Amino acid sequence: MRSTNQILSIAAVAMLTLGMTSCKNDAEKDQQEVVEATEEQAEATAEYENTKAADTSDYAVLKAGTKKLIADNEKRIAEIRVKANSETAENKAKFNAQIDKLEARNNELKQDLDQFGDKVDEKWDAFKARVDKSANDIKTDIDDYKREHNYN
């Protein structure tokens, strides 16, 4: 009987240790995503500033500016995800679902921007308006999420 209790105790400690290691790995992964997003944000900002300074097309300026905004969003989303991981399991799941939606919309914006060159029949003004609206909507939703969850 005693050896069964010892085995169960050892198994419980092992499971607890694995669980804690898994949480730590998730936190480290999320922190790494923030670092990578910060680097991408700096690159996109530099590209945007260079594009603005050069005599380039409206599309090039819009694309560079929107890429910068996408990078800004990616960093903010990564930061929000880090904070969400400190929540209870129930809230973490709910918040991560919301974060996943923001991330998906940001990725859709990136794809739309990259695919414009393939849509020669699309009018520039309509494309620009759609990209601007999408970018502003995502930024507003991220701001609303941060305000709702007291993330500064």
Range of the domain at 45: 24-148
**Which two tokens mark 143?**
């701001």
Domain membership of residue 15 (yes or no) is: no
Contact (CB, 8 A) for 108 and 70: no
pLDDT at 117: 65
Is the pTM above the cut of 0.85? no
Q: How many domains, the chain?
A: 1
pLDDT at 61: 85
Domain membership of residue 53 (yes or no) is: yes
Neighbours of 65 (CB within 10 A): 19
Walking along the chain (152 residues) 10 residues at a time, the average pLDDT comes out as: 48 47 68 86 82 78 90 93 89 91 93 74 80 92 88 72
SS3 content of the chain, % helix, strand, coil (to 5): 90, 0, 10
pLDDT at 1: 44
pLDDT at 26: 75
Q: What Rg, from alpha-carbon coordinates, does the chain have?
A: 22
pLDDT at 148: 87
Domain membership of residue 74 (yes or no) is: yes
Domain membership of residue 7 (yes or no) is: no
pLDDT at 21: 47
Domain membership of residue 48 (yes or no) is: yes
First-to-last CA distance in the chain? 54
pLDDT at 118: 55
Domain membership of residue 29 (yes or no) is: yes
**What angle is formed at CA 131 by the lines to CA 128 and CA 134, rounded to 5 degrees?**
145
Domain membership of residue 6 (yes or no) is: no
Domain membership of residue 111 (yes or no) is: yes
